[in-house]
Amino acid sequence: MHNFMKLNQKQAVNPGQYARVNELNMYYEIHGEGKPLVLIHGGGSTIDSTFGRVLPEFAKRHQVIAVELQAHGHTADIDRPLSFEQDADDVAELLRQLGISKADILGFSNGGSTALQLGIRHPQLTGKLIAASAMYKKEDLYPWFWEGMAKATFADMPQIYKDIYLEITGNSGGLLAMFKRDSQRMQTFTSWKDEDIQSIKAPVLVVTADQDVIRPEGATDLFRLLPHGRLAVFPGLHGEYLGEILTMRQGSRVPELFIAMVDEFLQE
């Protein structure tokens, strides 16, 4: 409830802007000053629902550029497929339009996979990467996840994600479109080649949780393939370590540890 209330308060003085990138009217926000740090939210989510707990702290030491991807939050859907590769290209084009030659990237869940694609497809724009609860192959996630995704319905989408989307847009059709886009992306996902991960030259901090939807072995496999990989495993659920709105634990100080760890990694 705290994050949702904060989202309502933030809308009154919304710092967001739009940029035309690859035919998409992409929404983004800029907070703070310093070296650029791009935040990429998870599937079905928004800037605030993924990063509401940690963004203000990162903005004390970084120029935070937080985006909302195709069909998510303030960024309306358009008639083209949804993919991690396209999301990465959209973020890269936004950075070019903002005149940012290199930025660090923090992506969570689907946003973590998009961060990896930035490292693969746009190495010249990529500083350091934090791939939080990210996948690159189907085996990274437990079989039960794929079984559930194969028969997922709109009713299965977490209500808090629905509420936040509707609070932003008031567009129930857009909400259903987002669900369909995210479901289709996952249902049609094919594993990436190990060589693609090995091609990432940027330092990458792989973060996961011991009760994540990502198998610990998947995070370890990713870490070992990366030429300059680091690995951190937190106790808790998917996103709990950064205060993601669906799994955040009231009073937990673990997000403070996550923030400190990311800051140290970026300063190394």
Q: Check residue 13 and report its DSSP letter.
A: T
CA dist., res. 4 & res. 130, Å (int)? 25
Answer whether 42's CB lies under 8 Å from 108's CB. yes
Encoded amino acid at 235, one letter: P
Encoded amino acid at 30, one letter: I
Q: At 10, is the secondary structure helix, strand, or coil?
A: helix
35-41-43 Cα angle (round to 5): 160
Answer whether 38's CB lies under 8 Å from 105's CB. yes
Domains in the chain: boundaries: 2-267
How far does CA 34 lie from the centroid of its chain?
21
- The pLDDT value recorded for residue 203 is 98
DSSP string, 202-265: S-EEEEEEEESSB-HHHHHHHHHHSTTEEEEEEEEETTGGGT-TTT--TT--HHHHHHHHHHHH
| CATH architecture of the domain formed by 2-267 | 3-Layer(aba) Sandwich (3.40)
Task: Annotate 102-130 with three-state secondary structure.
Answer: CEEEEEECHHHHHHHHHHHHCHHHEEEEE
Which of these, 98, 101, 75, 100, lies nearest to 86 by C-alpha position? 75
Answer whether 226's CB lies under 8 Å from 200's CB. yes
Encoded amino acid at 151, one letter: K
Residue ranges in the chain modelled with pLDDT below 70: 1-14
Question: For the whole model, what pTM was predicted?
Answer: 0.94
CA dist., res. 68 & res. 85, Å (int)? 15
- The pLDDT value recorded for residue 15 is 77
Measured on CA atoms in the order 164, 170, 174, 176, is the torsion positive or negative?
A: positive
Please provide residue 85's backbone torsions phi and psi, each rounded to the nearest 5 degrees. Answer: -65, -45
Which of these, 124, 91, 103, 105, lies nearest to 35 by C-alpha position? 103
Answer whether 128's CB lies under 8 Å from 204's CB. yes
